[in-house]
Amino acid sequence: MLREVRSDRAGASDGELVMDVRQLRYFLSVAKFRSFSRAAVDLNVAQPALSHHVANLEAELGVKLFERSTKGVTPTECGETLIRHAETIIRQVTQAAVDVKTTSAHPSGVVTIGLPTSISIGLTVPLLQEVEKRYPAISLRINENHSGYLSEWVLAGRLDIAVLFDLDADAPFELIPLLEEQLYFVTAPGSFIAGRTSIELQELRGNSLVLTGSSHGLRHAIDRYSAFSSLAIEVKTEVDSLVAIKQLVASGFGTSILPWCAIQQECAGGQLLAVPIEKPRIERKVYLASARGWPRSRAAEVIAQLTTEVTAALLASDRWRGELPKRRRL
């Protein structure tokens, strides 16, 4: 319940807890600026009134939300917990107002989408271009990060949707299949794969690989297939940057396994050489995921549909490689 009725107010039930939206906005501003005075300026309210609202909130919850000092304020552990919930609540309230005011013909509002780096490198620019062209009233915010973090943030309500990999049917997400993406063995030009159309997984034995760390969905797919094939791959180093991995491979430092969308520009320019991995074919299932049971805004629905269309266009233009799913669940 968002609307708070204090126990000392007329008609309030004993011990009933209420937090109104204004209190949460005030609290978040203080947490953001780490200062009551700066938050008061940002909110255009008197500082004593702001302090009073935060003090009332602490009294209602029965906990201290900030540690005060001469240098400012710092959220306590309880305060950090409330920040996560308050951000979600404010976002939902704001989106509810937008949805009520807009129609399906003119969707608007802010949509946040999480993209793993290996996907963002090929999808971000064309997706933003299409949003600007077709839905100028929608503000699309892209968060690029590890897929492990993105899945947590979707479930916490910090992201509307995210691109995730190889999810089970019983995972707590609503899923839209985007594609089954094949992975490629990548080397510097002039290597032993020159002139070949594919490479078998077992042939990777003995190659010094430069891979992403274990928190990446890309690494999960590689480790899963190597374990299935009883292949102990040799990881020379782990680098949590696709740009750095590609530079290292191009310099001859090592080889790697990457999706086509992350390397197609370098392959076209002659900086990298790549062939698909077969026997077994290494691939990952790519989904667009939202939290199950959470209402998606009309704008988020539009972005989800547009993402599937942009994905299909990238596949048709060979900027992404894989197979489209036969059916989509929207």
Q: How far apart are CA 315 and CA 205, in angstroms?
A: 30
pLDDT of residue 136: 94
Q: What is the pLDDT of residue 2?
A: 43
- Domains in the chain: how many in total? 3
Per-residue confidence band for 147, with pLDDT thresholds at 50, 70 and 90: confident
Res. 157: pLDDT tops 80: yes
Amino acid present at 83: I
* Mean per-residue pLDDT, 148-169: 90
302 is a domain residue: yes
pLDDT at 292 over 90: no
Q: What is the mean pLDDT of residues 161-188?
A: 92
Same-domain check for residues 235 and 218: yes
Determine which of 105-114, 154-163, 239-248, 261-270 has the lowest per-residue pLDDT on average: 105-114
Is there a contact between 277 and 198 (Cβ–Cβ < 8 Å)? Answer: yes
Average pLDDT over residues 322-329: 70
What gap in Å lies between CA 202 and CA 273, rounded to an integer? Answer: 19
Co-location of 118 and 245 in the same domain: no
Mean pLDDT, range 163-172, rounded to an integer: 88
Q: Does the pLDDT at position 305 exceed 80?
A: yes
Confidence category of residue 325, pLDDT binned at 50, 70, 90: confident
Q: State the sign of the Cα–Cα–Cα–Cα dihedral 123, 129, 135, 137.
A: positive
Residue 165 pairs in a beta bridge with 286
297 and 162, same structural domain?
A: yes
CATH of the domain at 120: 3.40.190.10
Q: Model-level pTM? A: 0.68
- Domain containing 135 equals 106-178+285-323
- The domain boundary residue, chosen from 97, 127, 162: 97
pLDDT digits (tens, 9 = 90+) for 177-195: 999 999 999 999 999 999 9
Q: Quick check: is 2 in a domain?
A: no
